[in-house]
Amino acid sequence: MKQIFLIFLMSLSGLLIHAGNLVPANNEFIEYTGRIDFSNPESPQFSYSGVSIRACFEGSGISAVLEDEKGENRYNIILDGVVVNQVSTKQGKHTYLLAEGLEDTGHEIEIFKRTELIFGKTSFHGFELARDASLQPITNERPLFIEYIGNSITCGYGNEGVNGETFGPETENHYMTYAAITSRNFNARHMAVSKSGIGIYRNYDGPAEGNEDCMPNFYDRIFLYDETPKYDFAVQPDVVCINLGTNDFSTVGGDSALYVSNYLRLIETIQAKYNHPRIVCLLGSMMSGKVLDEVRGYVQFIARTANRKGMGPVTFFEMSAQTGDLGIGVDTHPTVAQHQKNAAELTAYLAELMDWEVVESRVASVH
């Protein structure tokens, strides 16, 4: 029965469905994770990778009402902990079937944003339930919370494609990045503040003096390129992982002094916005050779300097660089296999650092 359901569900990606029981987006049983604008609580809006909307329900089916700015975003649909489908959005407001023909018992549904902010904003207008269904309190609590600040690597740029292909939403899957996999290994919620091409002081191929729209300057925003609304930093992460620097030094002209000073400024901002959280400065996985050696030294110095200030513990961890043995993604980015390798490394590091227990997670990635 389940195999028949999965095949049927796969054939209905993005299908417009009209059920009769609308649950508004401000329902108390809906869990949101990520940088989300709740200015209108009945249609919260978001753009960053990895935004998650999760709920439990009893019934045989459920749909979601999404309004997409460009019609280019993609979402994983996770049913009872397993990825069963993905939705490719259409421009405008539509209702998307998430699950149908289920046993009339308790289920968990999660909508997870695979794609990054360059593909536009999405508003969520609530769930539509089968007439026999109703939302219930979430039973699988996720008490741990990790924040990741990064660039295209953290976004998952090109991880489901191969080098030589043209990048697009079909080749990007944040769910299968080192960040999201690591989080699931701890049954943790996570938030990604990431954009392809962004740097600590200088974005990809930017001027030597830096770019105004670098991460430290716009870190406090819900939408990277909108001055308002600001993010409220209300949820304290257990640990913040920063993986930035590849773009600052990916082309000639990178300035080490500007990189170090801006990185330390970002750390100070994080420590001020939160209550002196634990921070891990990551390195990996796209740099190699002399550049890798130089940036490693900068980040190690940054971690030591920030840690000595006593505003919260700051450490350094390096993930393995890609060598090509696990394939090369679009525009030389890491593949899913490389992300899985790096997730295993980061999971082991955080398990020891934070004294966290690794849990078994179920993943079935739908391409």
With tokens 């209550």, the residue in question is 275
Helical packing angle, 336-354 and 178-185, nearest 10°: 40
Query: Is the confidence at residue 366, as pLDDT, over 70?
Result: no
* 204-296-34 Cα angle (round to 5): 60
- For the chain, give the longest Cα–Cα distance: 62
Torsion of CA 328, 224, 244, 263, to 10 degrees: 170
In the β-sheet with 278-283, what is the strand arrangement from edge to edge?
A: 189-194, 145-150, 239-243, 278-283, 314-318
CATH topology of domain 2-136: Jelly Rolls (2.60.120)
Residues with Cβ within 8 Å of residue 89, at least 6 apart in sequence: 14, 66, 68, 71, 72, 73, 74, 75, 96, 122
Task: Show the tokens assigned to 160.
Answer: 């489901």
DSSP line for 275-340: TS-EEEEEE-SS--HHHHHHHHHHHHHHHHHHHHTTSS-EEEEEPPPP-STT---GGGPPPHHHHH
pLDDT band at 8 (very low <50, low <70, confident <90, very high): very low
pLDDT band at 116 (very low <50, low <70, confident <90, very high): very high
Is the Cβ–Cβ distance between 238 and 192 less than 8 Å? no
Q: What pLDDT was estimated at residue 340? A: 98
Query: Is the confidence at residue 90, as pLDDT, over 50?
Result: yes
Distance CA 229, CA 174 (A): 24
Q: How far is CA 10 from CA 87, 97, 98, 137, 216, in A?
A: 10, 10, 10, 27, 41
Helical packing angle, 289-308 and 256-273, nearest 10°: 40
Torsion of CA 186, 192, 197, 203, to 10 degrees: -110
Distance CA 27, CA 86 (A): 24
Q: What number of CA atoms fall less than 13 Å from residue 159's CA on the CB side?
A: 30
pTM over 0.75: yes
Name the CATH architecture for the domain at 145-354.
3-Layer(aba) Sandwich (3.40)
For the segment 327-336, the average pLDDT, to the nearest whole number, is 98
Query: Is the confidence at residue 1, as pLDDT, over 70?
Result: no
Burial of 340: CB neighbours in 10 Å, binned 0-12, 13-18, 19+: middle
Which of 249, 243, 259 shows the shortest CA–CA distance to 154?
243
Q: What pLDDT was estimated at residue 361? A: 61
Query: Is the confidence at residue 48, as pLDDT, over 60?
Result: yes
SS3 129: strand
Candidate from 9-18, 25-34, 62-71, 81-90 with smallest mean pLDDT: 9-18
The answer to whether the peptide bond before residue 24 is cis (omega within 30 degrees of 0) is no
With tokens 């020891």, the residue in question is 352
Task: State phi, psi for 105 to the nearest 5 degrees.
Answer: -135, -165
Q: What pLDDT was estimated at residue 20? A: 59
Residues with Cβ within 8 Å of residue 167, at least 6 apart in sequence: 157, 158, 161, 330, 331
Distance CA 138, CA 129 (A): 16
| Cα 272 off chain centre by | 23
Q: What pLDDT was estimated at residue 362? A: 53
- Each domain of the chain, given as residue ranges in start order, spans 2-136, 145-354
